[in-house]
């Protein structure tokens, strides 16, 4: 890998070297490095671009890294990754995509991740998206995450767009069986004339299932963000959603909650807030020696953590 690719890998997956455990690193449309373990297998799909990640039942305290990096202007790809996670597992999956585009053509990565989580398993999924480059070509990403949680399984998602993506549609769709739980923290930063749309949907189909969805966004410049959250309570369940956004300059943010209960014992709650950075926050930091811009950046970093 060249220095640009190494820098992208560090941004989206916090990697300075090859990780311990199972991994598949995709660079400019090709697999650049792969490792499997006794408990985690990674297999190239034969019918389309992508991989199958197979995690054996009972696998605990192990991780899988599957970052994607693009440094070639004009490259466009659609990749399908399927995760088959056995029963009684406890694993962490680190994904993410970084694009550096210094050319005149658009570079684009569309990824479809499907999770089949076995009974009683716990999964933590971390995904970061990042773009950079001085070229006229755009940096485009469209991630889709499809989740099926079996009985008593738990999945925690930390998904974020940390800057530099010109246009994105981020779709997450989850279905929960009895006793299953999902926690989603989704964060988006846009600036300039960038556009981002996030659609988060959860169906709670089993008694005792629950979800906690938190969406945070910061829109700078003339950028636009749209967040749509849908929660369907089809059993005795508990669902909570929170949209919290900061608007700056001429930015635009639209947040739309959609709650649907088909069971008398479904309890669904939604909260939403959009506003500017509080003046007293800026003043407090500026009295400590920070410039207004430095104070704004510190507040934004804390907000999106």
Instruction: Examine the pLDDT at 18 and tell me if it is beyond 90.
Output: no
Q: Pick left, alpha or beta for residue 293 (phi over 0 → left; psi -120 to 50 → alpha; otherwise beta).
A: alpha
- Residue 6 has a pLDDT of 85
Instruction: Give which of 145, 138, 134 is closest to 96, Cα–Cα.
Output: 145
Alpha carbon distances (Å) from 302 to 28, 218, 253, 295, 297: 33, 12, 19, 11, 9
pLDDT in the model for residue 17: 78
**Would you state the pLDDT for residue 295?**
81
Q: What is the pLDDT of residue 294?
A: 82
Tell me if residue 42 falls in helix, strand or coil. Answer: strand
For strand 50-55 and strand 76-85, is the pairing parallel, antiparallel, or unpaired?
parallel
Task: State the average pLDDT for the chain.
Answer: 94
What is residue 304's predicted lDDT score, i.e. its pLDDT?
82
- Can you tell me the distance from the alpha carbon of 175 to that of 209, in angstroms, rounded to the nearest whole number? 10
Identify which of 11, 133, 117, 161 has the alpha carbon closest to the alpha carbon of residue 73.
Answer: 133
pLDDT at 71 (0 to 100): 95
The predicted pLDDT at position 206 comes to 98
Query: Where does the pLDDT of residue 305 fall: very low under 50, low under 70, confident under 90, or very high at 90 and above?
Result: confident
Q: Please report, for residues 89, 232, 261, the alpha-carbon distance to residue 125 in angstroms, rounded to integers and kept in the order given.
A: 13, 22, 28
pLDDT higher than threshold 80 for residue 1: no
Q: Which residues contact 178 (CB under 8 A, 6 or more apart)?
A: 151, 152, 206, 207, 208, 209, 235
Q: List beta partners, residue 2.
A: none
User: In this predicted structure, what is the pLDDT of residue 114?
Assistant: 98
Q: In this structure, are residues 170 and 139 in contact, taking their beta carbons and an 8 Å threshold?
A: no
Model confidence pLDDT, tens digit, residues 25-65:
999 999 899 999 999 999 999 999 999 999 999 999 999 99
pLDDT at 221: 95
pLDDT at 253 over 80: yes
Provide φ and ψ at 123, rounded to 5°: -130, 130
Query: DSSP secondary-structure letter at 276?
Result: P
Q: Residue 240: exposed, middle, or buried by beta-carbon count in 10 A (0-12, 13-18, 19+)?
A: middle
Q: What is the pLDDT, as a whole number, of residue 3?
A: 83
pLDDT tens for 262-279 read 999 999 999 988 888 877
In which band, very low, low, confident or very high, does the pLDDT at 193 lie, cut at 50, 70 and 90? very high
User: In this predicted model, what pLDDT tens digit does every residue of 132-168 receive, in sequence order?
Assistant: 999 899 999 999 999 999 999 999 999 999 899 999 9
pLDDT interval class at 187 (50, 70, 90): very high
Residue 234, pLDDT score? 98
Collapse the DSSP code of 113 into the 3-class scheme (helix H, G, I; strand E, B; otherwise coil) and give the result: strand
What are the Cα distances from residue 281, in Å, to 208, 216, 253, 295?
40, 18, 21, 8
pLDDT tens track for 232-247:
999 999 999 999 999 9
Whole-angstrom distance, CA of residue 60 vs CA of residue 230 = 32
Predicted local confidence at residue 284, as pLDDT: 75
List 256's β-bridge partners, or say none. Answer: 228
Task: Give the whole-number percent of the chain exceeding pLDDT 90.
Answer: 80
CA quadruple 15, 20, 21, 22: dihedral positive or negative? Answer: positive
Alpha helices in the chain (DSSP H): 3-13, 279-286, 292-303
Q: ∠57-60-64 over CA atoms, to 5°? A: 95
Q: Which residue has the higher pLDDT, 248 or 302?
A: 248
Predicted confidence at residue 176, as pLDDT, reads: 98
**Burial (0-12, 13-18, 19+ Cβ within 10 Å), 61:** exposed
Residue 185 pLDDT greater than 80, yes or no: yes
CA 289 from chain center: how many Å? Answer: 35
Cα–Cα dist 300/163, whole Å:
12
């Amino acid at each position: 890998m060249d220095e640009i690719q190494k820098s992208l890998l560090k941004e989206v997956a916090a990697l300075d070297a090859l990780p311990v455990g199972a991994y598949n690193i995709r660079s400019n449309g090709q697999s650049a490095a792969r490792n499997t373990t006794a408990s985690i297998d990674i297999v190239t799909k034969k019918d389309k671009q992508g991989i199958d990640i197979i995690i054996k039942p009972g696998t605990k305290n192990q991780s899988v890294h599957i970052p994607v990096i693009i440094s070639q202007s004009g490259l466009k790809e659609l990749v399908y990754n399927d995760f088959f996670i056995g029963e009684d597992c406890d694993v962490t999956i680190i994904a993410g995509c970084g694009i550096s585009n210094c050319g005149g053509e658009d570079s684009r990565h569309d990824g479809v991740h499907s999770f089949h989580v076995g009974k009683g398993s716990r999964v933590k999924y971390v995904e970061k998206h990042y773009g950079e480059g001085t070229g006229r070509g755009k940096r485009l990403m469209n991630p889709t995450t499809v989740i099926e949680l079996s009985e008593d399984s738990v999945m925690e998602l930390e998904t974020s767009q940390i800057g530099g993506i010109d246009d994105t549609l981020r779709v997450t769709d989850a279905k929960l069986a009895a006793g299953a739980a999902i926690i989603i923290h989704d964060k988006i930063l846009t600036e300039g004339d960038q556009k981002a749309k996030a659609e988060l949907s959860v169906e709670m189909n089993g008694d005792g299932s629950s979800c906690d969805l938190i969406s945070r966004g910061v829109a700078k410049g003339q950028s636009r963000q749209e967040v749509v959250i849908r929660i369907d309570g089809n059993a005795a369940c508990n669902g909570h959603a929170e949209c919290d956004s900061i608007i700056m300059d001429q930015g635009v943010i639209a947040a739309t909650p959609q709650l649907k209960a088909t069971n008398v014992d479904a309890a669904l709650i939604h909260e939403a807030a959009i506003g500017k950075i509080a003046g007293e926050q800026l003043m407090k930091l500026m009295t400590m020696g920070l410039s207004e811009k430095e104070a704004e950046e510190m507040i934004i970093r804390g907000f999106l953590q």
